[in-house]
Amino acid sequence: MKCFRVLFLMICFNFLYLSSMAQVQEILPSGIAPAGADVVFTGRWLAFANPATLSREESVVASVGYENRYFSPELSDEYFSVAVPTKYFNIGTSFNFFGYADYHEMMAALTVARRFGIVAVGVEFDYFNMFLPDEVGYRHAFTAQVGLQVDVTDKCVVGFRMFNPSFSQIDYNDVARRLPMMMHVGCNYGFIDDLDLLVEVGYVLNRGVDWAVGMEYRIMPELLVRAGARGADYVIPSLGAGVAFAGFRFDLMAEADFRIGMSLLSNLSYQF
pLDDT digits (tens, 9 = 90+) for 49-62: 999 999 999 999 99
The pLDDT assigned to 101 comes to 74
Phi, psi of 260, deg, nearest 5 = -125, -50
pLDDT at position 130 is 86
C-alpha dist (Å) from residue 207 to 20, 45, 203: 10, 27, 8
- Give yes or no for residue 244 having a pLDDT over 80: yes
pLDDT in tens, 159-168: 999 999 999 9
Quote the pLDDT of residue 183. 96
Instruction: Assess if residue 272 is contained within a domain.
Output: no
**pLDDT band per the 50, 70, 90 thresholds, residue 4:** very low
- With 80 as the cut, is the pLDDT of residue 83 above it? yes
Neighbours of 63 (CB within 10 A): 23
Task: Kindly report the average pLDDT of the chain as a whole number.
Answer: 87
Expressed as residue numbers, the domain containing 62 is 2-215
Asked if residue 151 belongs to a domain, the reply is: yes
CA-based nearest residue to 103, from 137, 70, 77, 126:
137
Q: What is the pLDDT at residue 271?
A: 95
pLDDT of residue 228: 96
> What pLDDT, on the 0 to 100 scale, is given for residue 22?
36
In-domain check, residue 15 = yes
* Euclidean distance between CA atoms 220 and 200, whole angstroms: 26
Q: How far is CA 99 from CA 12, 26, 111, 119, 209, in A?
A: 11, 12, 24, 37, 27
pLDDT at 195 over 70: yes
Q: Is residue 97 part of a domain?
A: yes
pLDDT for 204: 93
Q: Over range 178-184, report the average pLDDT.
A: 92
Predicted confidence (pLDDT) at residue 188 exceeds the cutoff of 70: yes
Task: Output 193 or 225, whichever has higher pLDDT.
Answer: 225
| Residue-by-residue DSSP string for 177-241 | EEPP-EEEEEEEEEEETTEEEEEEEEEETTTEEEEEEEEEEEEETTEEEEEEEEESSSEEEEEEE
The reply to whether 49 falls in a domain is yes
Per-residue pLDDT at 15:
42
The answer to whether residue 40 sits within a structural domain is: yes
Closest C-alpha to 126, from 47, 184, 55? 47
Residue 35 lies in a domain: yes
* 106-154 confidence digits (pLDDT tens): 999 999 999 999 999 999 999 999 887 766 678 889 999 999 999 999 9
pLDDT tens-digit series, residues 23-81: 444 678 888 999 999 999 998 999 999 999 999 999 999 999 999 888 887 788 999 99
How many domains, in total, are found in the chain? Answer: 1
Give 129's strand partners. Answer: 106, 140
Indicate whether 22 belongs to any domain: yes
pLDDT at 20: 38
**pLDDT digit string (tens) for 198-237?**
999 999 988 899 999 999 999 999 999 999 999 988 899 9
